[in-house]
Structure 1
Amino acid sequence: MASGQINQIQTVFTFSDLVNNSFQGNINAICWQRNPAGDYKEIVSKLRLKENITEVSAEDLLQLDLSAEGELARATLLNDLKLLTEYGASPSLNLLKQYDRDTEFDFISTDVYSYHVDRSPIATNTFLCTYYGTASDILPNHQADQKILVPEIRQKLRELHEGEEQDFEEFLKEYYFDLHYHPKPNAQPINLGVGNLWKLSVDHPGQQVLPCIHRAPIENPDEYRLLLIC
């Protein structure tokens, strides 16, 4: 990724710039561009998957018997957890086989494989880094349509809603239907890449920019992902 700004993305090269730079104008994603040293595949191979999503603690990492390259990777993981925790975030390092899929309705999906935005009642940001495996995508806001505004989907949601008409919009929010988006024809997703630490804008009171539309990738067969999120 080139330095500077690309579409809605600002690129930085230090953690300090990542957390201290504010979203403004069209910028709703900030990337700490980096290529961290170490063997993350070794880390993944020596961790034990307990569920489809297994949280990995610093203690889990410290218990691993690693090569020199594995130790370099572990140092980055521990440092990222430390930096974000000291910043005031609550980072979670996950070993991931797959997320749960939403199969309840055939006309709309609300799982993380669907393009979506995050919402919070307080001012916050989403931080995300994929160290190993497939990486997430973001989508420029002008290249997506809110699913609830697609006429056929909206009509089916109205049929699903059993309350009063004046409560329909609240119903859409309560079940998170309003957070999900369809890419427009010829939309061009932007892959977040492996090793980069991202800050994505969230829908919250006081947010001055559009929330960043993103999705989890389909995992490669027989390959786990190692990612940090908060």
Structure 2
Amino acid sequence: MKKLIIIPAYNEGENIEKTIQNIQENAPEFDYVVINDCSTDNTLQILQQNKLNHISLPINLGIGGAVQTGYKYAFENGYDIAVQVDGDGQHDVSYLEKMCIEMQNQNADMVIGSRFITKEGFQSTFMRRVGITYFTRLIKLLTGITITDPTSGFRLINRKVIALFAKDYPRDYPEPESIVELLCKKYKVIEVPVQMKERAGGQSSIRMWNSVYYMIKVSFAIFVEMIRK
């Protein structure tokens, strides 16, 4: 099976080399592509100088547009499995083998790496945990299914979902919304326990000042998705 790691990167000059080295050492059976989302730091220079596989977007599309670019790349190049791995070094790719096994054993369409099943490793910031709890309860209310880590960017999908997301993917903070879309369309979404690390450098795109906007905007998008069901 052809397997691809998609790495959305915006101003990840401090982390991107180490992230790719980790992939090459601990997940060598996966190809990778970095989606440089019009970074304003030295991310592009690092990618070019080290001849790392990348696509450089001409304008900043945000996390949703960057990840969808990776899914389009995966679909057009015939990949059977794609996984999103953040460029900040938080995701441990040594879990990918277990995630692939669980996908096969449980005939799942998406496997989410959740830090909240065993509650080990970095548990995220307080404000982000508030949002995670909110979306867990909202998704449970709307679909009857509990997703413990609905904002996790560590998500592995099969060829069917690659095709779906290559055509249509949420633009702004896409993780909870895309989970609801899959559940509404009767795809099977499961979680496996993982440990995550604290960001090694740079800054998260979700900060305290925009977390309320995040919750309102994504909630509205989820309700729209339920209406479209």
Do they superpose with TM above 0.5? no
Q: Report which of the two has the higher share of strand.
A: 1
TM-score bucket of the superposed structures, by smaller chain: under 0.3
Give the structure, 1 or 2, with the largest relative contact order (CA under 8 Å, sep 6 or more). 1
Q: Report which of the two has the higher share of helix.
A: 2
Larger Rg: 1
